[in-house]
A and B are shown apart, each in its own frame.
Chain A
Amino acid sequence: DGGITQSPKYLFRKEGQNVTLSCEQNLNHDAMYWYRQDPGQGLRLIYYSQIVNDFQKGDIAEGYSVSREKKESFPLTVTSAQKNPTAFYLCASKTQGDADTQYFGPGTRLTVL
């Protein structure tokens, strides 16, 4: 089955620790995105990548880092510099067309204690 997977579904970390969230897709999509979702707010873009070995900052990139070494994978690291890391993190992907639809993975709920 083609799709986007994120793991784990739930993640708990202590304050001050870095944590990496996984995102894998087998849809052969070129572009991949990371969003953060907080209660009462719209999705906010953290980072995106339109091609392997290239990525751009979104609106709220501070305290996060990414890599895009393979087309299928776009991991997100939440560093200790991120002030409020507790949130629901969503990964999405789409084909190369500018206005193409983004499809989402199931999300990872990160709680920092």
Chain B
Amino acid sequence: GQNIDQPTEMTATEGAIVQINCTYQTSGFNGLFWYQQHAGEAPTFLSYNVLDGLEEKGRFSSFLSRSKGYSYLLLKELQMKDSASYLCAVMDSNYQLIWGAGTKLIIKP
């Protein structure tokens, strides 16, 4: 079966750095997406990785290792507004997205 695993919840301090991990087992791989979702709102796109390595975009970076079935989202200089759920999704061989349950990130002052 297809499976995406992420921690359910993480807590971090304002101004710090946090790494949210995602491991996956899917039938085929056509890229991995990270989305941010504030409570009661729509997911918004953060990043897309299809090749191994690190993609940096401002305070957010995303890393992929296809051989390990592993990705992480790195958030630097945390701000209170970063309190949200972070969703990992893998595009399978049929180009359909398989979604993790999301990681709820709590930022404390």
Contacts and interface: CB of A to CB of B under 8 A. Distances in A.
Interface of A: 40-45, 48, 58, 88, 90, 98-99, 101-107, 109
B30 A98 contact: yes
Interface in B14-60: 30-31, 33, 40-45, 48, 50
B12 interface: no
Contacts, number: 48
Q: Is chain A's interface secondary structure helix, strand, loop, or mixed overall?
A: loop
A101 B34 CA distance: 10
Interface of B: 4, 8, 30-31, 33, 40-45, 48, 50, 87, 89, 91, 95-102
A103 B102 contact: no
Given A42-B4, A43-B87, A43-B99, A99 B43 contact: no
A105 B101 contact: no
